[in-house]
Chains A and B, each alone.
Chain A
Amino acid sequence: GQQLNQSPQSMFIQEGEDVSMNCTSSSIFNTWLWYKQDPGEGPVLLIALYKAGELTSNGRLTAQFGITRKDSFLNISASIPSDVGIYFCAGPLETSYDKVIFGPGTSLSVIP
């Protein structure tokens, strides 16, 4: 079925470094959603993207909606320990907005 791929699968970075991760699909998406999951909690929405080429920021986070509509990118600048968690990309299927699928996640660890 439809699926999203995320890379890298996991990252270990030093505090203060910038982080980049991406999400790709073989299918077109009209909406890209980026979520963060803290240990023991449910995912929380970070950024929502609704238009191809759109670049949106939320504090130190910046996400982009790829112009092919088949990918999206999330960047975190000047990482801090509380950035630790799993980052998921997600989106409703173009063929069925009722079904929202998630990527497998990128696990981020920040070394103080």
Chain B
Amino acid sequence: EAQVTQNPRYLITVTGKKLTVTCSQNMNHEYMSWYRQDPGLGLRQIYYSMNVEVTDKGDVPEGYKVSRKEKRNFPLILESPSPNQTSLYFCASRRGQGNSPLHFGNGTRLTVT
């Protein structure tokens, strides 16, 4: 089954404790992206990657890092999480063409206390 898989689904952590949210897709998609969803703000793009070893900032990249060492994986790293990063995070992927639709994972709900 074609899918985008995120882990974990739920995560509660404390300020400053480094964490990684994993994302993997089995569709051989070139493009992958991370979004955060907050009430009233829709989905805002954090980082995206056009292909292996190519990453770029989205609209809200501060406090986040990503890496794309393999085509199928695109982890999101919070080196020093803060409470304002409490949010619902989605990973998505699509084919390389710019107007191809995004396929989303089921989300990771992160709480930073």
Contact with A along B10-22 (1 / 0, CB 8 A): 0000000000000
Stretch at the interface among A12-20, A72-80, A93-101: A93-101
Which residues of B17-32 are within 8 A (CB) of A? Answer: 31
A63 proximity list for chain B (CB < 8 A): none
Nearest-neighbor residue (CB-CB) of A88 within chain B:
B42
The 8 lowest CB-CB distance pairs between A and B, nearest first, are A97-B98, A42-B104, A31-B99, A102-B43, A104-B42, A102-B42, A45-B101, A42-B106
Instruction: With both chains docked as a complex, state the minimum distance between the C-beta of B11 and any C-beta of chain A, in angstroms.
Output: 15
Nearest-neighbor residue (CB-CB) of A94 within chain B:
B98
Residues of B within 8 A of A (CB): 4, 31, 33, 35, 40-45, 48, 50, 56, 58-59, 90, 92, 98-99, 101-107
Q: A42-B90, A42-B104 in contact; A92/B42 too (CB < 8 A)?
A: no
- A97 touching B99, Cβ below 8 Å: yes
Cα A44 to Cα B33 in complex, Å, equals 15
Q: A42-B104, A97-B99, A98-B56 in contact; A103/B42 too (CB < 8 A)?
A: yes
Cα A88 to Cα B37 in complex, Å, equals 12
Cα A90 to Cα B98 in complex, Å, equals 13
Give the size category of A's interface with B.
Answer: 20 to 34
Q: A98-B48, A98-B50 in contact; A92/B99 too (CB < 8 A)?
A: yes
Cα A39 to Cα B31 in complex, Å, equals 26
18 additional A-B residue pairs with CB within 8 Å, beyond A45-B103, A100-B45, A102-B35: A31-B99, A33-B101, A40-B107, A41-B106, A42-B90, A42-B104, A42-B106, A43-B90, A50-B99, A88-B42, A90-B102, A97-B98, A98-B31, A99-B45, A99-B48, A99-B59, A100-B102, A105-B42
Q: A92-B98, A99-B48 in contact; A44/B104 too (CB < 8 A)?
A: yes
- B105 touching A104, Cβ below 8 Å: no
B50 proximity list for chain A (CB < 8 A): 98
- Whether a CB of chain B sits under 8 angstroms from the CB of A59 is no
A31 proximity list for chain B (CB < 8 A): 98-99
A40 proximity list for chain B (CB < 8 A): 106-107
